[in-house]
Structure 1
Amino acid sequence: MTAVPEWMRPPRLEGWYADDLDHLPEAPRHTELIDGALVFMMSPQRSWHARLVTALVVSLTDQAPVGIEVEREMTIRLDDRNRPEPDLLVTTAPYAPDRTFYTPGEVLLVAEVVSPESAHRDRTVKLRKYAEAGIPNYWRVEDENGAPVVHTYELDGPTRSYAPTGIHRTKMVSPVPFEVELDLDRLIPGRKA
């Protein structure tokens, strides 16, 4: 067993804070903060996941109205102890080249493409945390025999929880966060529909 690198040791007894992520240059690229604990994406990313995220970012960017931006793999500072990194987000914030995170008030949609190592966090932990932070829409994309299936949720403001609004196979049409139409069967190049 090897020693834990010094940078992995929390700077205080209660753990890490959201602002600490900006001062960890040694941390792996996709490091999140969940309840004060660092979460690393340690297993290799599957090609299905990478291609799907890219296709979603391109499709949403092509359809986004003026004043709406689509970002991939940027953290959201939910509070002092939580800064998750969704696969993509849709925001009203203008592009800023030195930005390292967004705040919930700037985010219209968060989408997570589920992988084996993130399944529990994407289906339960992040679903609850994004809702409690007031992010209006959440999409969870699952792999169903190689085909993407999009589970959509909309925030119920008074309860600060998500209500499911649909499970989409083959095609998805949604009025939120803006008018979106996706041919899900064409999102994975090379996949036989």
Structure 2
Amino acid sequence: MFALVMPVPQPDNPSMHVPASDRWTAVDLDHLPENGLRYEVLNGQLVVNAAPKPIHQWMVRELVRVLELAVPEGHFVMLGVGVLIGEDEPIPDLMVCTGPIPWDGRGIPAEQVKLVVEVVSRSKAVTDRLVKHGLYAEGGIPNYWRIETRRFKRQLPEETLPVIFGHVLADNGEYEGLYRISAGHAVTIRHPFELTIDPAILMP
């Protein structure tokens, strides 16, 4: 998987949609081609991602299965859909949201999203750990999970991958760590809803 930040194209380049200002917006995504790439708007920049690797999608699928058995009534697990945060539209690997779902809309409004999850890949590590972390907090999304799948800085010697980092939005508008679960340990969490999970089950 790769991530590419695209500058705003010049008006004399007819091959690409030109946004109305020097910043991309979620509305601009409606004018881009459906070509198998994933387009996001992060802090006014267009970010283009190639299709993820099979292992990434396997882990996302397994997590969807786990979450669908645990989410309360009236909550929905969605994947591959953008979150509308002002004029930005990040696309988490999956989210848990409440209805009513705007089925024909551009994405899911941030106020309906209760949890976003990012499975960190090598090419998007900075985006997943820092850029989106800040955007989700700005959007007021109460829970953010980051799943590390490769060796990472400050990984503990006894930790086995993957590792789930659970964050909750604090009163100051920033995320604070709530739990850290490594593979081989089945842990019951009670926020944002009760769930027992061992990250090892996400692996093939």
Pick one of 34, 40, 56 that aligns with 2:48: 40
Stretches of structure 1 that go unaligned for 5 or more consecutive residues are none
The Cα shift of 1:9 comes to 4.4
Q: Deviations over 1:110-148 (max 9, x none)?
A: 000000111001111111111121100000000146832
Conserved 8 A contact 1:172-1:184: no
Conserved 8 A contact 2:102-2:108: no
- The share of aligned pairs that are identical, in percent, is 35
Task: Give the equivalent residue in structure 1 for 2:166.
Answer: 152
1:133 and 2:139 are equivalent in the alignment: yes
Which aligned pairs between 1:1-193 and structure 2 lie closer than 5 A? 6=14, 8-26=16-34, 28-42=36-50, 44-80=51-87, 82-144=88-150, 147-157=161-171, 159-170=172-183, 171-189=186-204
Which one-letter code corresponds to 2:41 in the other structure?
L
Secondary structure of residue in 2 paired with 1:63 = coil
Instruction: Please say which of residues 167-176 and 6-15 is displaced more in the overlay.
Output: 6-15
Conserved 8 A contact 1:7-1:24: no
Which one-letter code corresponds to 2:81 in the other structure?
M
Q: Distance in 2 between matches of 1:96 and 1:133?
A: 18
List 4+ stretches of structure 1 deviating above 6 A: none
The Cα shift of 1:95 comes to 4.3
Secondary structure of residue in 2 paired with 1:181 = strand
Q: Deviations over 1:12-32 (max 9, x none)?
A: 341321122123234644210
Which one-letter code corresponds to 2:90 in the other structure?
P
Secondary structure of residue in 2 paired with 1:33 = strand
Q: Distance in 2 between matches of 1:54 and 1:6?
A: 38
The Cα shift of 1:72 comes to 0.7
The RMSD of aligned alpha carbons is: 2.1
Q: Distance in 1 between matches of 2:49 and 2:198?
A: 29
The Cα shift of 1:38 comes to 1.1
**TM-score scaled by length of structure 2:** 0.81
Count of residues paired in the alignment? 183
